[in-house]
Structure 1
Amino acid sequence: MEFINIIEELKARKLLKQVTNESKLLDAQKNSKSIYCGFDPTADSLHVGHLIQILNLKRFAKYGFKPLAIVGGATAMIGDPSFKSQERKLLDLDTVKVNIKGISTQLDKLIPEIKVLDNADWINKLSLIDFLRDIGKHFNLAYLLSKENISSRIDKGLSITEFCYTMIQGYDFSHLYNNYDCYVQIGGSDQWGNITSGIDYISSIIGSVNSKACGLTINLLLKKDGIKFGKTESGTIWLDKTKTSEYEFYQFFLNQDDEDCEILLNFLTMIDVKEIETLMSEHKKEPYNRIAQKRLAEEITKFVHGQEGYDKALKISNALFSGNLDKLNKDYLLSLFKTFDIIKVENDLNILDFLISGSIISSKREGRELLKDKAISINFLNNLDENLIIDSKFATIENYILVKKGKKKYFVLEINK
């Protein structure tokens, strides 16, 4: 079988930011060693910002590595200070456990070959004296203060708790190196200081000549406007479909700018680089057909939500575009409803008052004209009398009522029972 250089693959996709030792990385690849990435359990679901590292672990697995993930039950109790303007809010143990369970389930699903570990399993066994004698003595104070992820916080305030974070992450790498044959750590560009701390810690114990540990960082994914990918006005785009529906997830990628599509396809999909080049060439010929966006949205939605989730998102999207929401079943409609800003209205309102309360019309006069022209429909019915009383019986799905104004403008109202 032909050996395909993982470094060349990363460079071709413009993923690679820094690597400590290319020859050690290639040796690890040739010998099918483990590679790990850490995930902070700050929520019970991962979000689109995590997709870069998730896809990279999957990519490394394709190239012969054994992927590991640490969901940091111990380090989450401290918080990584790297390039943060202020100390993170500390989480309680019960919240961390819930978050770890949610994230571990997601990683197992997305990367079936992965092994997910919780660093609390070994960190929590250390006493303070153990930490100071066995770990702390290997880190020189001047060495730590020279690291940008630490020095950048000194003037703004850095607690001893946060200061110790990089040492604990270094110990994580050592534990995986000794117990899981893990020779490589990967992270975002903000993790360079923590990654090199681990490599230097391993070298200080077994000697730099004997150490096979190495690390690399991945370029930050920035959109054309310089904003970090994943930051949206509407809030976080989660991988959990109960937090962000399959439709909303699909639409997020479908609505990406033309200029961002190529880098997103390279960073967030497993599509071959040559195929991406061909795809972008076709896209530029007819950009109005949004070929790149459709392929991007399809690939990532299938990866996160499977074929079923993609089919659901596509069916809802097509129904919205055509104005035929009545073709959707209740499950699909409910999923769609939750993507709207839902307006609460009182029960037993005259239809005109109901429409005014929902900010659908500005006056009763406007309402009467729309009703006369059958330009208002409630739950797909448009033969409506202006004396109609809207009550809870109209709420066919939970407490929601779907109102359509004109050809394609939809509103979701919730009846207060």
Structure 2
Amino acid sequence: MSETVSVSASAPARALAPANDSSFENVWDEIVWRGLVHVSTDQTALRDLLGGEPITYYCGFDPTAPSLHLGNLVQLLLMRRLQLAGHRPLGLVGGSTGLIGDPRPTAERTLNTKDTVAEWVGNLRAQVERYLSFEGDNAARMVNNLDWTAPMSAIDFLREIGKYYRVGTMLKKDAVAARLNSEAGISYTEFSYQILQGMDYLELHRQYGCVLQTGGSDQWGNLTSGTDLIHRVEAVSVHAIGTPLITNSDGTKFGKSEGNAIWLDAEMCSPYRMYQFWLNTDDADVVERLKIFTFLTRAEIEQYEETVAAEPFRRAAQKRLALEVTTTVHGPEATAAVIAASEALFGAGDLGALDAATLRSALEELPHATIVGGTTVAQALVETGLCASLSEARRSIAQGGVSLDGTKVDDESAAITGALPGGVAVLRRGKKTLAGLFVAPAA
């Protein structure tokens, strides 16, 4: 389990409102500095494009799960940065491509039902909308590719779109090549995904004058499917930006905690868990995370870089990162509740004053157990794993090293009632070893 890190009272009081860094002449220069461009079409043309009159750009999100995750957050924040620079975003949720799913490198996806995909389309649309502004001259617009795909017959699809694709070129795409070389192979369904995504770009170019698509670099074959199609059909050049796939400095996969994805939906990943995920960022990774996932300026990030080098024990950069991203995803009130819970758990606040839902989610991240009301502190120490035996638990209590809900325990037979909000209790052994107790009523 990841370490639950305490937060000092000196943590920043509020997150910054999203704004681009005025020290950069062009938003292109800023996103390059932040490490958001791994691969792209012509960089000189892109810099001119993003530094000129407002353009329309898009990013697509397929409903292959009920929520977006941290990998998608990279795209959402890039979309927001471009909108803050004056450009017009199109947020596409793939009601048709989500029925297929882009090819994974190893195996065929399980096809979800149409009802499930439709429900997830609604979930993802609401999430995407949180990161964009729908007001002003460059107001965002949401689109669903099912709107132009569903009315098209298979014959029309093959005649109007399929004729522009060459199978030899399609076979060279990384995702397709990987699957062809695997035991699973690839179905025609998933093989056709790149055509559908290319058609999306063509449709958005025709309807809205869209000239830029962003996505992860692992989607580069699908991104260029659209740029190539538009070039053949419309005889114009459009652009694509592929962001890097983010990994940790030790080579492990980013965006997972204890093997579970960090989802943007609070029901699938609590704000407390999200906050702790960022708080546990390694010193070697934290500056790059600040660049990509926050709107801190270059000057502010360089200051944190100096602090990490000179005083890593302060973990100031991690605290700011956790504050900024959790606020971006879950809002300031939820983030404030999370920080209050973190401080109270480590003795710097009142456990009894915490929000019940936040406290329960915090305790789920600790070693925890469900007990019956009336269980003794000594028994609870064993059930949570804080002590290996009752005799060890009794010794710890006798030595004054155990507290319950922030109050020192001197009686091994003291009963736990779950007096904290939400019917829970907090056990501590020593200064930093905590466990949560979910107290069920006695029979």
Distance 1:168 1:31 in 2: 29
**Identity across the alignment (%):** 35
3-state DSSP of counterpart to 2:256: coil
Pair 341,45 (structure 1): closer, same or farther in 2 beyond 3 Å? farther
Pair 371,243 (structure 1): closer, same or farther in 2 beyond 3 Å? same
Distance 1:341 1:362 in 2: 14
Distance 1:267 1:181 in 2: 28
Distance 1:71 1:104 in 2: 6
**1:94 CA drift (Å):** 2.1
Q: Paired residue for 2:145, among 115, 119, 128? A: 119
Query: Match for residue 127 of structure 2?
Result: 106
Q: Paired residue for 2:92, among 70, 74, 85? A: 70
Pair 279,379 (structure 1): closer, same or farther in 2 beyond 3 Å? closer
Distance 2:411 2:248 in 1: 50
TM-score w.r.t. structure 1 length? 0.89
Query: Match for residue 17 of structure 2?
Result: none
3-state DSSP of counterpart to 2:252: coil
Contact 2:164 2:229 in 1 (8 A): yes
Query: Match for residue 361 of structure 1?
Result: 387
> Equivalent residues in 2 for 1:3-152 (5 A)?
4-22=25-43, 24-26=45-47, 28-29=49-50, 30-81=52-103, 84-113=105-134, 114-152=140-178
Select the structure that is richer in helix: 1
Distance 1:381 1:153 in 2: 59
**1:388 CA drift (Å):** 5.2
Query: Match for residue 16 of structure 2?
Result: none
**1:167 CA drift (Å):** 0.0
User: In the comparison of the two structures, how many residue pairs are matched?
Assistant: 411
Q: Paired residue for 1:220, among 213, 225, 245? A: 245
Query: Match for residue 194 of structure 1?
Result: 222
3-state DSSP of counterpart to 2:308: helix
Which amino acid in the other structure matches residue 191 of structure 1? Q
Bigger mean CA offset, 375-384 vs 291-300: 375-384
Distance 2:29 2:257 in 1: 32
Distance 1:269 1:160 in 2: 40
Bigger RCO of structures 1 and 2 (CA < 8 A, at least 6 apart): 2
Which amino acid in the other structure matches residue 34 of structure 1? T
3-state DSSP of counterpart to 1:197: helix
Deviations 1:110-147 (A, max 9, x none): 22343222211221121111211111111111121122
Bigger mean CA offset, 128-137 vs 26-35: 26-35
Distance 1:265 1:144 in 2: 37
TM-score w.r.t. structure 2 length? 0.84
3-state DSSP of counterpart to 1:58: helix
3-state DSSP of counterpart to 1:16: coil
**1:351 CA drift (Å):** 5.1
Query: Match for residue 257 of structure 1?
Result: 282
**1:197 CA drift (Å):** 0.8
**1:330 CA drift (Å):** 3.8
- CA RMSD after TM alignment: 2.6
Q: Paired residue for 1:322, among 325, 342, 347? A: 347
Distance 1:325 1:409 in 2: 18
Which amino acid in the other structure matches residue 51 of structure 1? L
Pair 369,320 (structure 1): closer, same or farther in 2 beyond 3 Å? same
3-state DSSP of counterpart to 2:54: coil
Distance 1:389 1:276 in 2: 49
3-state DSSP of counterpart to 2:215: strand
Pair 287,409 (structure 1): closer, same or farther in 2 beyond 3 Å? closer
Distance 1:295 1:225 in 2: 22
Which amino acid in the other structure matches residue 109 of structure 2? R
Query: Match for residue 412 of structure 1?
Result: 436
